[in-house]
Amino acid sequence: MALAFVGGALLGALFGEAFAELRDAVKHFRNKGRKFNSTLEKLESNLENLEPVVKVIKQLSEELDGRKDEIQRLIDQMKKAGECIRECLKIKRWQRPFKTKYGGELNKLNEAIESFCKVDMQVHIRRDVLELKKIWFEKKAVGAGVLCSVPPPPKFIVGLDVPLKELKTMLLKEGKEESLLLVTAPGGCGKTTLVIKLSQDKDIEGKFGKNIFFVVISTNPDLKHIVQKLFHHVGLMPHFQSDEDAVNHLQQLPKQIGSNPILLILDDVWPGSETLLEKFELHMPDSKILVTSRTAFPRFSFTYELKPLNDVDAMTLFRHSASLQDRSSCIADENIKKMLKGCGGYPLALEVIGGSLRGQRAEVQLSRVRKWSNDDIISNPDVYKCLQRSLEFSDPKVKFKECFTDLGSFPEDQRTYAAALIDMWAELYNLDEDGVDAIAILQELTIRHLATLVMTRKDESEFSRYYNEDFVTQHDLLRELAISESKQEPIEKMQRLIMYIRENALPLWYTEQNQQPTNARLISISTDKLFTSSWCNIQAPNVEVLVLNFQSQIYSLPEFVEKMDKLKAVIITNYDFFHAEVINFQLLKSLSNLKRIRLERVSISSLFKAPIWLRSLKKLSLFMCSFGHACGNSTMKDNDALPNLMEINIDYCNDLVELPAWLCDAILLEKLSITNCHHLSALPKGIEMLKNLKVLRLRSCTKLSELPDSIKCLQKLRFLDISDCLGIRNLPKDIGELRNLEELHMKGYLNLNLRNGLPQSTEKLKQLKLVICDDEERAKLWEPFKEVLTNLEVRKVEKEISLSWL
């Protein structure tokens, strides 16, 4: 990584130097009063247009290596142009033939640079941006998804002006005695919001620069894992042998990040982890460690106790959460004030209670407020009971409360991807396959502040709904509430069985129940790094969804999975930094009702080493998985092993070079989505066998060189997305044979040969209704066909090339 950085930085510097020399040569030529027709004027104009892009190229070059041939070619062209101009300055008036000669050369160079700037360079920049995004995603999608970046603050904040001012004063103080600072308050009081907002203060950013790190500690901290996150955040990938090794490396971190002091925010430190804090002591002047905890630790030199909101701020936050800002409400302030006493001034309780009233009919709002204002809780505020009583939903047909409770199936302080929830709820509650119902439920939970749905893309059409990058986060107290709600019945009657095994300690209820069968439809088992696969024997004859969360590089499925005859969906997620090898996928082969498998950060080579007959499997999702040599070594035939497969999703699988040959035998396949697989170079030759394919999504496969001519055989194809497939230069000449194609996405800097235009067969796409692009030139390609394709809409969306996410 360091070597790549040096190479990229050097190349970027050379590019900047070549550009500066050429620009200076042109200016010098003009200052000498020389005239040289319009060629020099064009060159000067091109340089002016190029200057802002130079900064982008230099920035990308510092991050990436491997662009030497492309950037070096432009450097050589610039140097040659500069030499040509300097030679022209030496020409005397009587040497007109020489002047003509240099003029011709300069004109050719100018055209070459102009072409490079208008076409090639834009493509290269877009590709580099995508690769940076890929690197960023690979680094950030680990664990909570943000590594050590400070998360964004809530959109609406009240009551923190004074705490921000006081805590800021302490952070800006110099001296080692205030290097360790603690913010303490009960859960849901706003500690995390306070430190996030503080880290975005201009004075704080001015002192610490980019050296502000945010790490969630939680109940069972893993020192080695935390230090790995810190190093991965700055682009280094060390592998530590032990906690002691990690601590020794930690002292080298300041040398890797520049001269600014460090602000390390350790969020949500629990009792018993005080000794862990000593390991993070940074021997760097003016560096600070800022800790949030529900408990006060006596050893801290400075402790800031965050108070609940006062009555005025509590009322403001509640009204905002309930959408009662205009104060024109049927609810009397007197009743609201009574109810707010039960919230104790805790922001989380105020938001959740307020959110439960948002959008409700006036009668429902008034009834709930009257009921809550008369509860005994107002005399003894309890944030947990406030959250619990907010779980009232007006629509009995939609299982909002059940879906909220299901969120407890995933580990704390981690992203839960919407695609996993879609698979879960489709089987448990018979929700729709495309995820619309599930997303609607998540949006309702977000409105009520019971969870936070983050959607990374805008839905541009019906076909383009693809939720594999969207995710959900949840406050720890709300997750605790979800788990608590799942335990309201005896073990044998629970609908959800949520287990967290620390080391190899089995839950107490397991030994007490003496392995009695459970009636659960959903089982979630989370294990830590110290777990050694010593599984207990759970009897769960009715389980339909199994969620396995773990942190290790080798993982063994529980043997009792083999007996889960009603199992419909398996979701396996590895939260470690490195891909995990799951060694006994064969246990799944006897499950006759298994419809869905979702794997995340798993090495799937063992899945294809030997045939695994999954005759009922309809959907296979692979997210950030490692293929290794699985495709080339596989002898599995899909018509034998996966006869009913209808959907395959492959996202962010960086080592995927080729698709397995058996994929073309999946004759029932209707949806094939491959996104952000940057090394995929070609589609399989037998793709024409997929006669039932309706959706083909190939977004951001940057090395995919072409769409094979045989794609014309996909007569049922309705949706095609080749956005950001930068290697595709031409559409297949017989693309018009896709008679049922309704929608085509071609966003991003596709390297299409614009001179040739679209194939003439395009006029046969009579069913084509929508083309989405983000470039005026590509939009114009469709102009000649609009008279023939009367139903066609060419929609030009805003181009996304911002580097702000860096």
pLDDT in tens, 528-553: 888 887 787 888 899 999 999 998 88
pLDDT at 654: 86
Q: Where in the chain is the domain with CATH 3.80.10.10?
A: 681-806
Out of 217-221, 327-331, 454-458, 762-766, give the one with best mean pLDDT.
762-766
Query: How many CB atoms within 10 Å of residue 234?
Result: 17
CATH entry 3.10.20.340 includes domain 681-806: no
Residue 173: band (very low, low, confident or very high) from pLDDT cuts 50, 70, 90? confident
pTM, 2 dp: 0.80
* Backbone dihedral region for residue 301 (phi beyond 0: left; psi -120 to 50: alpha; all else: beta): alpha
Report the CATH superfamily, name and number, of domain 161-305.
P-loop containing nucleotide triphosphate hydrolases (3.40.50.300)
**b/e map 95-126, b = 16+ CB within 10 Å:** eeeebeebbebbbebbebbbebbebbbbbbbb
Please state the rounded mean pLDDT for residues 611-634: 80
- Span 259-280, pLDDT tens digits: 778 899 999 998 878 778 878 8
Task: Provide CATH 3.40.50.300 ranges for the chain.
Answer: 161-305
At residue 214, what are phi and psi to the nearest 5 degrees? -125, 120
Min mean pLDDT across 204-213, 315-324, 378-387 is at 378-387
Nearest to 803 by CA among 40, 59, 36: 59
Instruction: Report how many helices (DSSP H) and strands (DSSP E) the chain contains, helices first.
Output: 26, 24
pLDDT at 93: 52
The CA distance from 233 to 622, in Å, is 24
Mean pLDDT of the chain: 80
Distance CA 625, CA 468 (A): 14
CA distances (Å), origin 374, targets 39, 312, 314, 321: 83, 21, 19, 21
Q: Convert the pLDDT of each residue in 489-542 to its tens digit.
A: 888 888 999 998 888 877 776 666 556 788 899 999 999 888 887 787 888 899
- Residue ranges of alpha helices (H) inside 180-324 are 191-199, 202-208, 223-233, 243-250, 253-256, 274-278, 311-321
The least confident of 69-78, 456-465, 478-487 is 69-78
Burial label for 582, CB within 10 Å (0-12, 13-18, 19+), is buried
Q: What is the mean pLDDT of residues 640-660?
A: 88
Whether the Cβ atoms of residue 722 and residue 745 lie closer than 8 Å to each other: yes
Residue 131's nearest CA partner among 704, 699, 676, 799 is 676
Report, as an integer, the average pLDDT of 636-654: 81
Q: Return the pLDDT at 94.
A: 42
Least reliable range by pLDDT among 77-81, 305-309, 423-427: 77-81
Q: pLDDT class for 802, splitting at 50, 70, 90?
A: very low
Q: How far apart are CA 718 and CA 389, in angstroms?
A: 47
Q: Between 227 and 144, where is the model more confident?
A: 227
